[in-house]
Amino acid sequence: MGVEIRESPVSDGEFEAMKEFVHDYLAASVENEDEGGRMRWYPWHSAEYRFNHILNVVELGETIARKEGANVDVTRVAALFHDIAKLEAEQDAHAEAGATIAREYLETHGDYPESFVQQVHQAVSDHSYQGDLRDLPLETQCLIEADILDKVGANGTALMLLRMGYEARSHMDAADMVGRVVERGEDARERIVSDAAHSIVHRRLKRVRWFREWLEEEVAEIDAGTDLDDAPTGP
């Protein structure tokens, strides 16, 4: 278990300024692209979605960090910057690019301890790590767990259903699409290590499974042999 630094080096006002900076940076990343941003045609690669995802990860990261005894400020600041370069850098380079932006911001917008700046930089840089999370500092572990958990639950489910339209799927594929969220949740449960994160994924998986079962019960499949011209058209 980590030891949380009780005296916060980041005031509420400073954190709000960081949020505004991240929001504006993402918006500028999209505006600077001739095609409207990398993969802009998928809504979850828009500046709006990315910022919403970041705020979700901040909230989840804070929750996990408090329960696990991690440094909450390191975790929440790293969460805020973790995907800042997502819309302008390649996937395999966005973590390091975001870490550089975080360091530059912290070094030029306040008098933060170097140890704090280094911890934030390292957490952002390592947030795409695919190995055993127990090999990482607790704050980085909390960030990665939060990032994973945002893809499971209501947010991940809504985005998966939205994806059906972009893949030219009908509403009858909804249960299968929600099933992908269940699979993500099961994969997440295997990867996360903290008790706090396991508690969250358990609750979210339970709700997503229930929703999938509801869809399976009420969204009837069209029989392959049905003549669609003769099918009922009413609700």
pLDDT tens figures, 41-89: 555 668 888 999 999 999 999 999 999 999 999 999 999 999 999 988 8
198: how many CB neighbours lie within 10 A of its CB?
Answer: 14
CATH code, domain carrying 37: 1.10.3210.10
Q: Is residue 73 part of a domain?
A: yes
Instruction: Examine the domain organization and report whether 62 and 106 are in the same domain.
Output: yes
State the pLDDT confidence band at 2, using cuts at 50, 70 and 90.
very low
Instruction: Examine the domain organization and report whether 126 and 172 are in the same domain.
Output: no
Instruction: Examine the domain organization and report whether 121 and 24 are in the same domain.
Output: yes
Q: Is residue 22 part of a domain?
A: yes
Instruction: Examine the domain organization and report whether 65 and 114 are in the same domain.
Output: yes
Closest to 53 in 3D by CA, of 133, 131, 154, 139:
154
Pick the range with the lowest mean pLDDT from 72-81, 123-132, 143-152, 160-169: 160-169
> What integer pLDDT is reported at residue 229 of this predicted model?
47
- Cα–Cα distance between 235 and 37 in angstroms, integer? 39
- The DSSP-derived string for the chain is -----SS-SS-HHHHHHHHHHHHHHHHHHHHTSTTSSTTTTSGGGSHHHHHHHHHHHHHHHHHHHHHHT--HHHHHHHHHHTTTTTTTS-GGGHHHHHHHHHHHHHHHSS---HHHHHHHHHHHHTTT--S-GGGS-HHHHHHHHHHHHTTSSHHHHHHHHHHHHHTT--GGGHHHHHHHHHHHHHHHHHH---HHHHHHHHHHHHHHHHHHHHHHHHSPPPPTT--GGGS----
Q: Is residue 3 part of a domain?
A: no
Q: Give the largest Cα separation in the chain, rounded.
A: 72
Domain count across the chain: 2
Per-residue pLDDT for 204 more than 90? yes
Per-residue pLDDT for 140 more than 90? yes
- Cα–Cα distance between 60 and 151 in angstroms, integer? 12
Instruction: Examine the domain organization and report whether 188 and 115 are in the same domain.
Output: no
Per-residue pLDDT for 5 more than 60? no
Question: Which of 6-15, 102-111, 153-162 shows the highest mean pLDDT?
Answer: 102-111
Q: Is residue 214 part of a domain?
A: yes
> What integer pLDDT is reported at residue 233 of this predicted model?
44
Pick the range with the lowest mean pLDDT from 82-91, 94-103, 114-123, 224-233: 224-233
Mean pLDDT over each residue of the chain, to the nearest integer: 86
> What integer pLDDT is reported at residue 34 of this predicted model?
54
6: how many CB neighbours lie within 10 A of its CB?
Answer: 7
Instruction: Examine the domain organization and report whether 62 and 165 are in the same domain.
Output: no
Instruction: Examine the domain organization and report whether 96 and 177 are in the same domain.
Output: no
Instruction: Examine the domain organization and report whether 26 and 120 are in the same domain.
Output: yes
Instruction: Examine the domain organization and report whether 51 and 116 are in the same domain.
Output: yes
Q: Is residue 4 part of a domain?
A: no
Instruction: Examine the domain organization and report whether 127 and 158 are in the same domain.
Output: no
Q: Is residue 79 part of a domain?
A: yes
Per-residue pLDDT for 224 more than 60? no
Q: Is residue 144 part of a domain?
A: no
> What integer pLDDT is reported at residue 4 of this predicted model?
44
| Mean pLDDT computed over 111-125 | 97
Closest to 153 in 3D by CA, of 108, 99, 189, 104:
189
> What integer pLDDT is reported at residue 231 of this predicted model?
45
Instruction: Examine the domain organization and report whether 104 and 164 are in the same domain.
Output: no
Q: Is residue 176 part of a domain?
A: yes
Instruction: Examine the domain organization and report whether 96 and 161 are in the same domain.
Output: no
Which structural domain range is residue 193 located in? 154-218
| Mean pLDDT computed over 212-230 | 66
